[in-house]
Amino acid sequence: AQSVTQLGSHVSVSEGALVLLRCNYSSSVPPYLFWYVQYPNQGLQLLLKYTSAATLVKGINGFEAEFKKSETSFHLTKPSAHMSDAAEYFCAVSANTDKLIFGTGTRLQVFP
């Protein structure tokens, strides 16, 4: 069975600061891992995905995530936060199916 844990339901950073959103997964088979972003009253937008190629995955809007098997982690980072990054971020896992298991989400606030 697969599961995802997102540590921290809320993260606040200053504009220009490093963004770090944590995600740990559990999977009985090699996982596919995803980060999605959701802006208010909108659907989810794919930021990036890991599909067993390079462990460091670069996504859109300057985000990247590193797959660490030993730590069962897939944390999302961005070197410098922008006001427009304020949103809800979801980590998700799938394994050999198209079905996604989502984490509970992390709300990112960016202060000027």
Partner 1 sequence: GAVVSQHPSWVICKSGTSVKIECRSLDFQATTMFWYRQFPKQSLMLMATSNEGSKATYEQGVEKDKFLINHASLTLSTLTVTSAHPEDSSFYICSAVRLKETQYFGPGTRLLVL
Q: Site residues (CB under 8 A) for partner 1?
A: 32, 34, 36, 41-46, 49, 51, 90, 94, 97-100, 102-105
Which residue, chain included where needed, has tokens 């930021």?
47
DSSP, collapsed to helix, strand or coil, labels residue 90 as strand
Q: How far is the CB of 79 from partner 1 (least distance, A)?
A: 25
The total of other beta-carbon atoms located within 10 Å of residue 9's CB is: 11
- Nearest-Å Rg of the Cα atoms of the chain is 13
* Minimum separation from the CB atom of position 97 to partner 1 (A): 7
CB of 38 to partner 1, least distance (A): 9
